[in-house]
Amino acid sequence: MKLQLAFDRIVDDPQCKILINQHTLYEGVTQSEYTFNLAVPVGSCRLTIVHCDKKPEHTIVENGIIVRDRSFELVKCMIDGYDLQELIWLSRFVADHGEVYNSCLFFGPNGEFQLDFENPVLRWILRSRHERDNNDPQWEQDFEYYQQACKLLQLTSNK
Amino acid sequence: MQTFTTDIQQVRQLAWTLATASATDQLDVPGEYVWAFPADDRFDAIRARSRSIFSSGNSIKDPEVIEYIQGLHLAKHLLNPWIVEQFESEFPTWIANSKNYCLQNFDLFKYTGFSAGTQESFINFYLFNADRRFRVFRGDYWWHMDIWSRIRANWAYIEDDELRPGDICICSYPFALTGDKHQNFDWLVDQCNHLGIELLVDFIYLPNSMNAVNIDLSAECIQQITFSFSKTFPVQCAKIAVRMCKTKPQDPMQMSNDENICNRLSAGLAWDIIQQFPPDFNVKKYRDQQLYWCNKLKLQPTKVVHFGLGTDYTSYGRTDSVAWCSPFNQQQNRYNLGMLYENQNLLKNLHLY
């Protein structure tokens, strides 16, 4: 699996940890872009992005207003070349203090962003979009045709 | 009577395979348009292309013709002031030389003009009849309706209103949608004669047709006829067509002919092609293939060798418009089988043939 992530509005070197299932891909100061290539078994997957090590002094408040806050924001997630686009909102952010924020791409408090999907991701994308919009009843058949065509042509080109 | 229930599963499998092969550059004969190449080999791009695999009316991209064309030295025609005239003088004899159709009183059309695709002839027809109401049958070449709508011309489908004096008609023969004579063509000719309405007959698919066309061109209403090369030979973007008229036209296209400023490269290419290939080249070469694929996919073979008729496979599971390129392009039941013919080796290797 190829995983590409892009972050924006990175303030004051926030620490993060990126995992697929239980496998840690990165740990350290948040960068603006990442690309990972890894072997992932077929089936359920979870992308976890942990925001950690944020301390109270990383939030500067003046006159009751936050004027600077260590934080960052996830702006793009691509898996195997497919931009998840709006499906990224199927995620949630579980803050360490116990709150759960659905569809939250902002990493303010310590906690972890979780996105559950499936490998291969294309099948999950097509199914999720159809479940949400109910406008692509042929997605599964077309997915199979696509897989079949790729397989057939791969075989031919390898001859 | 034989019934045809299109094997949609097999059609879709072929469409997906050819679209994917197009993206991965594995076709025996690549496409001729930008839109024939998926942007990448991702699902969405392949899916979009799979829906247009059997669309368009363009010619079979015959490898033998392509090889011949690629071996030509076309630039020499630029130095030949007579090349357009040479092509125009030889075209009528060439096109008439087929036993697959009958053009009675063809010799009444004494004025042959090179046309930069039939679209140039059509534009001139629109221009010189701008004060009339244009009429076509539903299913005819969508470009007419699209252009008329864009230029706010007065037009109506023949099915939607009776023919009236002041109308002017266009009809393809064989009819674009069905690859056969339109069921009301004879009626249309009679009505046009009776009401003094001109009828442009577009012989767009004539060379690729078999026993579809038998027409008496002496009918008073038929004053001009058009022929396309790109539906017969893989010269889509060379813009080669011919217009023939009973009386000498007085329009911009004729002026280009009279001025000797027509595209000599295209006219030269056309001339080279008619020296080498007879008009029924595709019919002879591909009739068996047409029957094979139509039988395999449960399509109805048409009288135009590169078409079959069947159920629209592109509408499955779609809620958006299925019309390709234009809302007036409602030809999804007509399958252009060219890609199946051209990519025989690939399909054989994949055990899909």
Residues B138 and B235 in one domain: yes
Which residues from B are below 8 Å from A159, CB to CB? 349
Determine the distance from the C-alpha atom of residue B225 to the mean position of all C-alpha atoms in its chain, rounded to a whole number: 14
b/e per residue A112-134 (b: at least 16 CB within 10 A): bbbbebebbbbbbbbebbbeeee
B40 contacts: CB under 8 Å, gap ≥ 6 = B23
Cβ–Cβ gap A149/B26 under 8 Å = no
B69 contacts: CB under 8 Å, gap ≥ 6 = B233, B234, B235, B269, B272, B273
> What is the domain-level CATH number for residue B173?
3.40.640.10
The predicted pLDDT at position B36 comes to 83
What does the alpha-carbon distance between residue B87 and residue B78 come to, in Å, rounded to a whole number? 14
Residues B107 and B192 in one domain: yes
pLDDT above 60 for A11: yes
Determine the distance from the C-alpha atom of residue B257 to the mean position of all C-alpha atoms in its chain, rounded to a whole number: 23
The predicted pLDDT at position B326 comes to 79
Which residues from A are below 8 Å from B350, CB to CB? 152-153, 156
H helices present in B277-353, as ranges: 281-297, 338-342, 344-349
Residues B215 and B302 in one domain: no
Taking CA A69 as the corner, what is the angle to CA A66 and CA A71, rounded to the nearest 5 degrees?
140
Strand partners, B185: none
Strand partners, A69: A59
Grade residue B320 by pLDDT with cuts at 50, 70 and 90.
low
Q: Where are the domains of chain A?
A: 2-119, 122-159
The predicted pLDDT at position B2 comes to 64
Determine the residue type at A41. P
A53 contacts: CB under 8 Å, gap ≥ 6 = A15, A110
Domain total of chain B: 2
The predicted pLDDT at position B314 comes to 76
Residues of chain B with pLDDT > 70: what percent? 96
pTM: 0.88
With respect to residue B174, please indicate whether it lies within any of the assigned structural domains: yes
What does the alpha-carbon distance between residue B98 and residue B308 come to, in Å, rounded to a whole number? 22
B160 contacts: CB under 8 Å, gap ≥ 6 = none
ipTM: 0.86
Taking CA B286 as the corner, what is the angle to CA B280 and CA B292, rounded to the nearest 5 degrees?
145
* Of the candidates B107, B67, B66, B81, the residue with the CA atom closest to the CA atom of residue B267: B81
Helix H or strand E segment including A116:
strand A111-119
Q: Provide Rg for chain A, Cα atoms.
A: 19
Residue with tokens 């008619």: B274
The parent domain of residue B187 ranges over 74-276
Strand partners, A48: A19, A114
Residues B49 and B146 in one domain: no
For the stretch B259-301, pLDDT in tens is 999 999 999 999 999 999 999 999 999 999 999 999 999 999 9
**Which of B7, B47, B350 is best to mutate for the A interface (most A CBs within 10 A)?**
B47
pLDDT above 60 for B317: no
Domain-terminating residue out of B242, B276, B310: B276
With respect to residue B318, please indicate whether it lies within any of the assigned structural domains: yes
Contact of B20 with chain A, judged by CB distance below 8 Å, is answered with yes
DSSP letter string, B10-25: HHHHHHHHHHHHHHTT
Chain A interface, Cβ < 8 Å to B: 81-82, 122, 126, 135-139, 141-143, 145-146, 148-150, 152-153, 156-157, 159
With respect to residue B271, please indicate whether it lies within any of the assigned structural domains: yes
Would you say B206 and B174 are in contact if contact means Cβ atoms under 8 Å apart? yes
Q: Could you give the C-alpha distances from B344 to A88, A150, B62, B292, in angstroms and in order?
A: 43, 18, 11, 12
With respect to residue B17, please indicate whether it lies within any of the assigned structural domains: yes
For residue B350, give the nearest of A126, A137, A156 by CB distance: A156
Residues B303 and B199 in one domain: no
Q: Could you give the C-alpha distances from A75 to A31, A72, A84, A105, B270, in angstroms and in order?
A: 12, 10, 11, 7, 55
Residues B21 and B131 in one domain: no
* Of the candidates B238, B236, B280, B264, the residue with the CA atom closest to the CA atom of residue B87: B264
State whether CATH 2.60.60.40 applies to domain A2-119: yes
pLDDT above 60 for B337: yes
Grade residue A26 by pLDDT with cuts at 50, 70 and 90.
very high
Cβ–Cβ gap B21/A81 under 8 Å = no
Q: Give the mean model confidence (pLDDT) for residues B130-155.
A: 96
With respect to residue B2, please indicate whether it lies within any of the assigned structural domains: no
With respect to residue B3, please indicate whether it lies within any of the assigned structural domains: no
Residues B270 and B287 in one domain: no
Grade residue B3 by pLDDT with cuts at 50, 70 and 90.
low
For the stretch B188-245, pLDDT in tens is 999 999 999 999 999 999 999 999 999 999 999 999 999 999 999 999 899 999 999 9
Residue with tokens 């992932």: A40
What does the alpha-carbon distance between residue B94 and residue B98 come to, in Å, rounded to a whole number? 8
Determine the residue type at B313. Y
Residues B217 and B307 in one domain: no
Q: What is the mean pLDDT of chain A?
A: 95
Cβ–Cβ gap B43/A145 under 8 Å = no
Q: Provide Rg for chain B, Cα atoms.
A: 20
Helix H or strand E segment including A45:
strand A43-52
Q: Give the mean model confidence (pLDDT) for residues B149-173.
A: 97
For the stretch B67-122, pLDDT in tens is 999 999 999 999 999 999 999 999 999 999 999 999 999 999 999 999 999 999 99
What does the alpha-carbon distance between residue B47 and residue A126 come to, in Å, rounded to a whole number? 12
The predicted pLDDT at position B332 comes to 79
Residues B316 and B231 in one domain: no
Cβ–Cβ gap A146/B20 under 8 Å = yes
Determine the residue type at B37. F
What does the alpha-carbon distance between residue B122 and residue B144 come to, in Å, rounded to a whole number? 8
Would you say B243 and B170 are in contact if contact means Cβ atoms under 8 Å apart? no
What does the alpha-carbon distance between residue B195 and residue B175 come to, in Å, rounded to a whole number? 22
Grade residue B312 by pLDDT with cuts at 50, 70 and 90.
confident
Q: Minimum mean pLDDT among A101-110, B12-21, B26-35, B99-108: which range?
A: B26-35
Residues B238 and B206 in one domain: yes
DSSP letter string, B75-138: GGGGG-TTHHHHHHHHHHHHHH--TT-EEETGGG--EEEEESHHHHHHHHHHHHTTTSEEEE-T
Residues B159 and B292 in one domain: no
What does the alpha-carbon distance between residue B59 and residue B121 come to, in Å, rounded to a whole number? 20
What does the alpha-carbon distance between residue B96 and residue B104 come to, in Å, rounded to a whole number? 10
* Of the candidates B227, B262, B268, the residue with the CA atom closest to the CA atom of residue B244: B227
Contact of B316 with chain A, judged by CB distance below 8 Å, is answered with yes
Domain-terminating residue out of B245, B276, B307: B276
CA distance B12 to chain A (A): 8
Residues B93 and B40 in one domain: no
Which residues from A are below 8 Å from B41, CB to CB? 150
Tokens in use for B132? 């009339």
Q: What is the mean pLDDT of chain B?
A: 94
For residue B20, give the nearest of A136, A139, A153 by CB distance: A153
Q: Give the mean model confidence (pLDDT) for residues A25-52.
A: 97
